[in-house]
A and B are shown apart, each in its own frame.
Chain A
């Protein structure tokens, strides 16, 4: 059962349980923090515990203190063997070294304290084991195993199969999973849950599982993810320590200008930089989030041009920078030497980054949890307030920010999404398990189902993975010998095959896909930069794209080299990769839908001053932000009135515009603030249905606030016909057909094939590259397409539909439409888009890089609409 920790223990109660020396060391802290009050006793009692608490609230120590104490007790009584007792897993290598240092120090201090007291205890060893650990370090680790092992999910999966070292894991009593909020929503987390079940099988009895998480929701589900399921199909026991909201927050939404639509882009931008300048100068250390890497570079560039602070007190931090640069920025942050650091998303989690007194966010963080996580980076000590300023640069961002802040104050959070039944990850573990021993299929299936992520795994899926790995899908019986494992379906047993398997497993384990980089050169051989392989696939000769801020025309490619010519001043014909952009969470989208409903009522019925005041108080907007939001809604309202539309768009009323653009194309615009994951699913399904109905290609523009289907000319005269073509029961099937030939599916197929060991990254100790040059994923897919239920292909579609998109919620939305809980409303055909559609309409027209252009276009569009409205009023 998952229960909430309700009792807060006093410091004395906690100290009483600890080893006296450890207790004395621990009592040096002036007070114990909330997570420590709730968690330590339960961990001492041997219960599984999930601690959800902000950064800096002492949750790491809460997890470790009773473990250290128990280890000391064992050391005193001479029970401590040369074996591993505690495994600490975190997704970040940098965090691992941090934890190592933070454990080493207290252990030494406790040791000294013991010595001073004349207590003789042996050393308690800690070691880090990651992909960076050298052969000799590993050898010495085997000779003298650490009592506390710090590692990553990948390294854990490897040592589980290391014939000698795995023996040292049989004594494990505690496993700590850190940053669980980050892990659980990805395949890395799914991978870890199976490693934990395999570890438990190895140990032969349950160990204590401790999960550490930042702000996340719902905790019951995350707890199940941590502890897994018993064989009777119920979740194992876990105590949830919820101290997510112990830190006070101070959030504000600001807008650089009074009228976000009309202020020229240059003024909005320069005001934004001036605002940042003021904020940075009036605070000790400011952390700025920008969401994208290119945004980060741009902001740093402008801030340094403005000479906001001394050169070395300002830095960029994002995942494309080298590890050395990032480490140096992190170290300088910790030492308090930075005035401002600008990052994309990279400093959102993990390592202790020292004292920060302000977090500024440009644009929208896209989810309430992420907003709190980012803002939580400031006000390090628990009694300090976390201060965050959200700067809206576009109308939809501004609305998002306002709703997000109000939701955060109400204590609402968006739900986390945890992938389930990932067959590629399962394939890795089955190979790992086969390396251990000969398995009965039933036993192995039982083990796998103990993971939260596989609790509902159908037996047939499990079997299909066994068949795939054992070469059953080859057409000739003789080829079964080429399988990675052998599988006897009559005896129902499987095991390893071939001497290379162990090497394949240990050099290819993991879930993070390699992106294949294509080198870009000019025709005369000058180096330009790197693009992703899939981006190259998208290009045809003559296409213009942006690389390193400059436009280039694609000419041709040979293998993994692309050749281009510079095209100064030419607009790109292909947008840059969008993969960097964060999707809006569905829950926040719903809140925005409700906000729309509320705002229309206020704007229609209440005086302006009252509404502005309300926005400033309830939504923490500054005057400019409130003003901009107000104008946004009044212009939409006028537009609706002009077209005699009775309804107002909200979360329950999905407004559909039928807009004929200046090129006479028909645009069907859906106003549904469901976030991009849901809208991606809906839009593609409707586009496919439309394509089938009319026999033409349909262009799709997807955003967080809705989507657009574009037809080459006015062809659909009855939009209702389209609406009835997609429903909750045919959505999945329609979608699968719609995405079949997209590069997205090919790309994901390559990732899944790599995870499932179908394409090896490393073969016989050598990095595999050639295969990818000569081989394209489409061919591979064509080969396996005809094989029914081929697990790698099935997993690809599952990943695209469920992880990348959100087909489940999309189905739910359509079901609600069918039940009458939500409804569509089709607006009359018109030659201008509504103000709420402007962001979307322009999204497809221009690249993100060309923000300024986009703003100008948006402004022009808006003015046209307003002019029309005014004229209508006069008439």
Chain B
């Protein structure tokens, strides 16, 4: 058995309870020479994989790494509200992206919006860090695409300088459509099979016997008019997310999730760095009613 921190034991309980899950999970084990241990690669849908246990997706058929909601510059924005935290999350963000790149060796990277945090003129922290990120990514010979999010104002110049491509409001790549998620979804081409989006920062709250509640970031997976919808969790370590199992649908952030789909039918895929990926049943089964 994995040596899990105690709060994750609760997740294992879920494993036992939801026998259903074992059928629905497709595991591919492959030996990773790099790390010298087994990596569980979680396949969300045909040729779409969760990268290790991190908040990113790898589209194997396109060689694309997809991430969302970096919210670079969050610390400085918080400082304006009187919350001083050490400016250390950018390094974590970068580290996570690095691990994902090492893991899947993508040809290009797509950010589903909210690269930075400030709505207005970029702060000094945003300049420093966004610049650093873009330089670093292009030095790795990665083609960068950004789907514009609601926080991505004043970013066009920055992106151009480093050869990144901006897509507003949607990016279509083969059978994939990619949006940020802050606007209702318009008609998509017939060829689209999968919709990828961010914005919502999905997470789930799980409570143990002692009444201790933990929040875990998660992916959401469901359908909208025959299109598979996958909502990615935020990459920013500062965005813990909105707890999807405690929020009525009418109060969700994204109009797509709020008005265009039936969220209760969505499945949840929990990720917890260093602990693994867990698929839970539909949201309707996770809303606790006595």
Residues of A with Cβ closer than 8 Å to B?
468, 471, 473-476, 478-479, 482, 484, 537-538, 540-544, 553, 555-558, 573-574, 688, 691-692, 695-700, 737-738, 741-743, 757-763, 768, 770-771, 775-776, 778-780, 782-784, 786-787, 790
Contacts and interface: CB of A to CB of B under 8 A. Distances in A.
A798 B212 CA distance: 20
B246 A556 contact: yes
A779 B205 contact: no
A573 B290 contact: yes
B246 A541 contact: yes
Nearest to A481: B124
Contacts of A700: 210
Contacts of A696: 9
A771 B290 contact: no
B34 interface: no
B287 A760 contact: no
A762 B7 contact: no
Given A540-B288, A695-B1, A779-B239, 20 more contacts: A471-B87, A475-B91, A540-B213, A541-B288, A541-B289, A544-B290, A556-B251, A688-B6, A692-B6, A695-B12, A696-B9, A697-B208, A697-B210, A698-B210, A699-B210, A743-B213, A763-B81, A768-B81, A782-B237, A784-B88
Contacts of B209: 697-699
A423 B84 CA distance: 16
Nearest to A479: B87
Contact of B86 (A553, A768, A779, A784): A784
Contacts of A759: 82-84
B76 to A, nearest CB: 8
Which 5 A-B pairs rank lowest in CB-CB distance, beginning with the nearest? Answer: A760-B82, A763-B82, A473-B86, A474-B87, A768-B82
Contacts of A479: 87, 125
A691 B78 contact: no
Given A695-B9, A779-B240, A741 B83 contact: no
B83 A758 contact: yes
B20 interface: no
Contacts of B205: 540
Among B82, B89, B208, B238, residue most surrounded by chain A Cβ atoms (within 10 Å): B82
Given A475-B90, A783-B238, A758 B213 contact: no
Contacts of B6: 688, 691-692, 697, 737-738, 741
B207 interface: yes
B10 interface: yes
Interface in B23-60: none
Given A558-B251, A741-B212, A476 B128 contact: yes
Contact of A783 (B79, B85, B247): B85
A478 B128 contact: yes
A556 B248 contact: yes
Nearest to B251: A558
A519 B107 CA distance: 50
B191 to A, nearest CB: 39
B175 interface: no
Contacts of B208: 697
Given A479-B87, A540-B207, A776-B240, A743 B212 contact: yes
Contact of A542 (B210, B212, B247, B290): B290
A783 B251 contact: no
Nearest to A779: B240
Given A556-B248, A691-B6, A784 B85 contact: yes
A679 to B, nearest CB: 16
Contacts of A691: 6, 9
A744 B82 CA distance: 23
A772 B83 CA distance: 9
Nearest to A476: B87
B211 interface: yes
Interface residues of B, number: 45
A738 B10 CA distance: 15
Contacts of B210: 697-700, 742
B82 A762 contact: yes
B91 A771 contact: no
A758 B79 CA distance: 9
A538 B206 CA distance: 10
21 contacts: A473-B86, A474-B87, A478-B128, A538-B213, A540-B207, A556-B246, A558-B251, A692-B6, A695-B9, A697-B13, A698-B209, A741-B7, A742-B210, A759-B84, A768-B81, A771-B82, A775-B78, A779-B239, A783-B86, A787-B86, A787-B88
A468 B88 CA distance: 13
B224 to A, nearest CB: 24
B86 A471 contact: yes
B183 interface: no
Contacts of B246: 540-541, 556-557
Nearest to B240: A779
Contacts of B287: 541
A771 B238 contact: no
Contacts of B213: 537-538, 540, 743
A542 B288 contact: yes
Given A542-B290, A699-B209, A742-B212, A783 B89 contact: yes
B251 A771 contact: no
Interface in B90-139: 90-92, 125, 128
A697 B82 contact: no
A776 B87 CA distance: 17
A24 B205 CA distance: 73
Contacts of B128: 476, 478
A743 B214 CA distance: 9
B151 interface: no
B43 to A, nearest CB: 28
Contacts of A787: 86, 88
Interface string B57-86: 000000000000000000000110111111
A780 B81 CA distance: 14
Nearest to B81: A771
Interface in B193-250: 205, 207-215, 237-240, 246-248
A697 B289 contact: no
Interface in B237-289: 237-240, 246-248, 251, 287-289
Contacts of A737: 6
Contacts of B239: 779
A468 B215 CA distance: 27
A525 B93 CA distance: 41
A603 to B, nearest CB: 37
A702 to B, nearest CB: 11
A46 B13 CA distance: 68
A759 B82 CA distance: 6
A779 B238 CA distance: 6
Contact of B289 (A542, A558, A761): A542
A700 B288 CA distance: 23
A803 B247 CA distance: 36
A705 to B, nearest CB: 21
Given A538-B213, A556-B246, A757 B84 contact: yes
Given A540-B205, A778-B240, A782-B237, A771 B88 contact: no
Contacts of A692: 6
Contacts of A741: 6-7, 212, 214
A857 B10 CA distance: 31
Among A482, A700, A757, residue most surrounded by chain B Cβ atoms (within 10 Å): A482
A743 B128 CA distance: 35
Nearest to A557: B246
Contacts of A761: 82
Nearest to B79: A482
Contacts of B81: 763, 768, 770-771
B84 A758 contact: yes
A788 to B, nearest CB: 12
A700 B212 CA distance: 12
B77 to A, nearest CB: 10
Contacts of A543: 290
Contacts of A738: 6
A246 B10 CA distance: 58
